[in-house]
Amino acid sequence: MYGLEELREALSNPHLVLRELNRAYHRRLYTRPYNTAGIDVFEADWDNLVILDACRYDVFCEHTDFEGVETRTSRGGATPEFVRGNFTGKQRHDVVYATANTWYFELEDEIDAEVHAALYAPDRDPEVLTEKALDAAEEYPNKRLAVHYIPPHHPFKGPTADEHFPSYEDQSDALFERIQRGDLDIDDETLRQAYVENLEWVLPEVERLLSELDGKTVVTADHGELLGDRTAPVPVRDYGHHVGLYVDQLVEVPWYESTNGSRRRIVPEEPDTDVTDVEKESVEQRLEELGYR
């Protein structure tokens, strides 16, 4: 049931109504909690899983030299669905999850999931998470390691963002909605270039993990990104990423496999209770920075 405020917003922004029609279609009239056609990433064969937030398959292929990149179908059109679809009700005691995205911690009570350790990188700079991931690989040598970066998810950073976008700190405030409404004078080509530069920001860190982590590493994404693409079944142009919208640009994600040295011997163990909990304030702040609040 929608309230008066939601109805007013829909009347002033008709694209929201069209998006909601598409979401109702993809979610089978809201009966699907996530994209049930997607894979369970933890059932795949890997020692290390590198997750790029909001990384499109086509852009990944165009701007990397990796050979043999495949696609997989994600369980989410946005990170909350990816987390719900891959963690809910599961005991992943063989996994250490190092992340700069706080949705796992936000949904922790709801999803009733356990990993051996969940580690939070409070800085959005991908280099900070790389260091945390490498430290975790040393501390937990017999665990699978999942590393969840923020880029290419906005805020955008780079020459295009410096010239055309609000400041890095101010981009979190409904950036894509402002672009869609025309409140920001940013065309699709400029948006795409800023997005590419964010991907280029994180790629050196991905390459570092590929070279320094032992075992089989998979590079993938939790979901993709809409950069002015037309969605379906209602062919409306849309931006960003949205829960319940399962178009190819959002759920067909890159899947690159690489092996370095010997595979690790993985041993599931009870959760490491010495790992410090993430403060609620930090969770909310990060979600606000990413435009979810």
CATH code for the domain of 210 = 3.40.720
C-alpha angle 33-6-31 in degrees, rounded to nearest 5: 15
Here the tokens at position 111 are: 């999803």
- Assigned domain for 3 exists: no
Closest CA to 146 of 120, 122, 109: 120
Q: Range of 122's domain?
A: 35-227+237-289
User: Cα-Cα-Cα-Cα dihedral of 228, 231, 29, 287, to 10°?
Assistant: -30
Q: What's the mean pLDDT when you consider all of the chain?
A: 91
- Assigned domain for 21 exists: no
The residues pairing with 229 across neighbouring beta strands, listed in sequence order, are 238
Inter-helix orientation angle 126-139/188-212, to 10°: 20
Is the omega angle on the peptide bond into residue 166 within 30 degrees of 0, that is, cis? no
Confidence of residue 31 (pLDDT cuts 50, 70, 90): confident
- Assigned domain for 179 exists: yes
pLDDT computed for residue 6 by the predictor: 56
Domain count, the chain: 1
Mean pLDDT of 171-182: 86
Higher pLDDT, 252 or 13: 252
- Assigned domain for 7 exists: no
- Assigned domain for 1 exists: no
| CA 220/CA 263 separation, integer angstroms | 19
- Assigned domain for 17 exists: no
Mean pLDDT of 214-242: 97
Higher pLDDT, 12 or 14: 14
- Assigned domain for 20 exists: no
pLDDT computed for residue 1 by the predictor: 46
- Assigned domain for 4 exists: no
User: Cα-Cα-Cα-Cα dihedral of 163, 65, 59, 57, to 10°?
Assistant: -150
* pLDDT over 90 percentage in the chain: 80
pLDDT at residue 13 greater than cutoff 80: no
Q: Which of 122-131, 200-209, 273-282 is predicted with the least confidence, judged by mean pLDDT?
A: 273-282
| CA 119/CA 136 separation, integer angstroms | 9
